Amino acid sequence: MPHHISIDREGPLTILTIRRPEARNALHRAAHDEMAAALDAFAQDDQQWAAIVTGEGDKAFCAGQDLKSEPPTSAASLPPSGFGGMTTRFDLDKPVIAAVDGIAFGGGFELALACDIIVASSRSLFALPEPRVGLAALAGGIQRLPQEIGMKRAMSLLLTGRRLSALEAAGMGLVAEVVERDVLDCARRWAAEIIACAPLAVRATKRAARDALARPLSETVAQIWDRPEISGLLASDDAEEGRAAFAEKRAPAWRGV
């Protein structure tokens, strides 16, 4: 049983909560390993269609690496799937939502960036302050932030460690929704909208969108019909169910096959 996180399942939704409020939900190796194992289980469970990652309390989503416990010395300091079991997990086709309430600093911001959607409370703050302590954002922040908001904006954060408010982050397109309170309920609403869609369609969309970042647009658009997840989607029972439900003016009953 995990000691540093909790795992809750609400139907097809998995909620992972970092439970180290005494350390502002910073992660040490044991917590990293528990997150990695929980995300492995989520990925392998056909009955789980979406996940939310959040932190206990209203002070911090995750303050990053617990430098007092175990300063990172190499990639081997983290599980193979990266910070929080997420930042180098490039084969997860199921959607993950970050529900941020409080600070998301360093690896905590990188953990949120590795998720597909970020929602945040208005009191939340984001930063990559690693250069201020002689380090660098080595869990994907250096690469993901320029992709998300452009090089000049990213450099203004990466080179200074400057803090970004939730509203500023939303204005840059990093945060999908800012709420005053109940950020987990906000994340549940987003998850419900995802779960209302056909799971195979969601996963195929995420995989194709992710792969498109690494290849020329002319290739990804022209070859979209040849992708195995797309051909599998179009031949699936859920695709037939979606068409039938539309014609019959009823809600579809997705089976994930």
Give the pairing type, strands 60-62 and 125-127: unpaired
Between 237-248 and 199-212, two packed helices, what is the crossing angle to 10 degrees? 120
Residue 161, token pair as written in the block: 């460690």
Say which residues have a Cβ less than 8 Å from residue 202's Cβ, sequence separation at least 6.
Answer: 49, 50, 94, 95, 194
CA distances (Å), origin 17, targets 45, 57, 60, 77, 139: 18, 10, 11, 22, 20
Q: CA-CA distance, 156 to 158, in Å (whole number)?
A: 6
91: which 2 tokens?
């084969």
Question: 130 catalytic, yes or no?
Answer: yes
Distance CA 112, CA 97 (A): 8
- How many angstroms separate the CA atoms of 1 and 34, rounded? 9
Choose, from 22, 70, 110, 148, the residue flagged as catalytic.
110
Pairing mode, strands 164-165 and 125-127: antiparallel
Which two three-digit tokens encode residue 131? 């250069």
Residue 22, C-beta contacts closer than 8 angstroms, at least 6 positions apart: none
Which is nearest to 113 in space by CA: 69, 80, 67, 64? 64
The overall longest dimension of the chain from CA atoms, in Å, is 61
Spot the catalytic one: 56, 130, 193, 219: 130
Task: Tell me the residue type at 243.
Answer: R
**Catalytic: 219?**
no
Active site amino acids = 110, 130
